[in-house]
């Protein structure tokens, strides 16, 4: 019986001004085990463990299986009978790249069982095409903080150094926000001044992440492309942001499409920022989980 297990990290995307092009892998994981089944077995069997297991589909609509089958289709082969065991560690629909872990995990699992016919860059191209944008799937696959520039079939991927003194803190609320809903509120056009604002700020953000310069980081996390439109979908956003900043955070942004909020802080202010973000949402009668994480440096891996 042939079995392969793939571990894929959560991601935080955009990081303020880096809309749809900048993302970082975090030390929070989903694990996918793929076992080739015998001819007498069902064509597909999916089992799920984790606190949100009841919300995951166990038929062909499952995104992990769709990615798995997609790779075989790309190879002009029929997908084999497969048993998939999913161990959830990344919250669903919270802005931490759960769909990216499914896409990357399914593609990598299929590639391993098919005899590794595709390179990592070819898997990345398939993942970006499935997801529609690179900011989550690229760091989920490669690890670290990654800037993705280009278009389908012609991507340049640039790893952005992340200073060890910059600690990511995620505040994960007990409500969801779909990517579709978060995209629906975005305007179709932007003023030129807003575009220039973001170009300047993403340049500063890259330097701030590399150097650990807190003054630069504080200014660099501002954005005029997506956050002004999305923050109204996240109850208590401004109160949590104000609380995090008073506690010593360099800045706070929406993680991905939300509703998870990401603060970046120093080791010295870590506990204060964690407490401030949790207390702020608690005062609004919103339960949340606050976790300090680190940057995953390996990306998706075969175990």
| 8 and 157 inside one domain | yes
Burial of 45 (0-12, 13-18, 19+ CB in 10 A): middle
Say if residue 155 is in the same domain as residue 188.
no
129, HSE (Cβ side, Cα atoms, 13 Å) = 15
Q: Identify whether the C-beta of residue 219 lies closer than 8 Å to the C-beta of residue 297.
A: no
The span from the CA of 272 to the CA of 169, in Å, is 11
Identify the domain boundary among 161, 181, 206. Answer: 161
CB distance 92 to 100 below 8 Å: no
Same domain, 121 and 187: no
Last residue of a domain, one of 109, 143, 161: 161
Q: How many domains does the chain have?
A: 2
CATH code, domain carrying 99? 3.30.230.10
Q: Could you tell me the CATH number of the domain that includes residue 176?
A: 3.30.70.890
Asked if 168 and 294 touch (Cβ cutoff 8 Å), the reply is yes
Q: Are residues 182 and 150 part of one domain? A: no
Give the global pTM: 0.95
Domain hosting 236: range is 167-292
8 A C-beta contact, residue 9 and residue 33: no
Q: Using CA atoms, how far apart are residues 162 and 140, in angstroms rounded to an integer?
A: 16
**Residue-wise pLDDT tens for the chain (303 aa)?**
699 999 999 999 999 999 999 999 999 999 999 999 888 788 899 999 998 889 899 999 999 999 999 999 999 999 999 999 999 999 998 999 999 999 999 999 999 999 999 999 999 999 999 999 999 999 999 999 999 998 877 899 999 999 999 999 999 999 888 888 888 999 999 999 999 999 999 999 999 999 999 999 999 999 999 999 999 999 999 999 999 999 999 999 999 999 999 999 999 999 999 999 999 999 999 999 999 999 999 999 998
d(CA 157, CA 22): 10
Do both 180 and 202 map to the same domain? yes
Q: Give Cα separations from 5 to 36, 146, 150, 301 (angstroms).
A: 12, 24, 31, 8
């Amino acid at each position: 019986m042939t079995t392969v297990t793939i571990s894929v990290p959560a991601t935080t995307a955009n990081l303020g001004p880096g809309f749809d092009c900048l993302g970082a892998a975090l030390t929070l994981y989903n694990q996918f085990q793929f076992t080739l089944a015998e001819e007498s077995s069902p064509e597909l069997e999916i089992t799920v463990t984790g606190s949100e297991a009841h919300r995951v589909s166990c038929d062909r609509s499952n995104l992990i299986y769709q990615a798995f089958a997609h790779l075989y289709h790309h190879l002009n082969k029929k997908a084999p009978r497969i048993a998939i065991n999913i161990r959830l560690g990344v919250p669903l629909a919270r802005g931490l790249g759960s769909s990216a872990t499914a896409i990357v995990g399914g593609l990598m699992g299929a590639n391993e069982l098919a005899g590794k016919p595709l390179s990592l860059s070819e898997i990345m191209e398939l993942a970006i095409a499935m997801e529609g944008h690179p900011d989550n799937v690229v760091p989920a696959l490669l690890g670290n903080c990654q800037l993705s520039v280009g278009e389908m079939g012609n991507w340049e991927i640039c790893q952005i150094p992340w200073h060890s003194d910059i600690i990511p803190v995620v505040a994960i609320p007990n409500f969801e926000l779909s990517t579709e809903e978060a995209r629906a509120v975005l305007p179709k056009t932007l003023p030129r001044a807003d575009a220039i604002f973001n170009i300047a700020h993403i340049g500063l953000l890259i330097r701030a992440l590399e150097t650990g310069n807190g003054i630069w980081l504080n200014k660099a996390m501002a954005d005029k492309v997506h956050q002004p439109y999305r923050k109204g979908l996240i109850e208590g956003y401004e109160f949590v942001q104000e609380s995090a900043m008073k506690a010593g955070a360099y800045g706070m942004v929406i993680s991905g499409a939300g509703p998870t909020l990401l603060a970046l802080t120093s080791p010295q202010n870590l506990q204060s920022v964690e407490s401030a973000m949790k207390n702020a949402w608690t005062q609004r009668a919103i339960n949340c989980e606050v976790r300090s994480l680190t940057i995953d440096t390996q990306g998706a891996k075969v175990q």
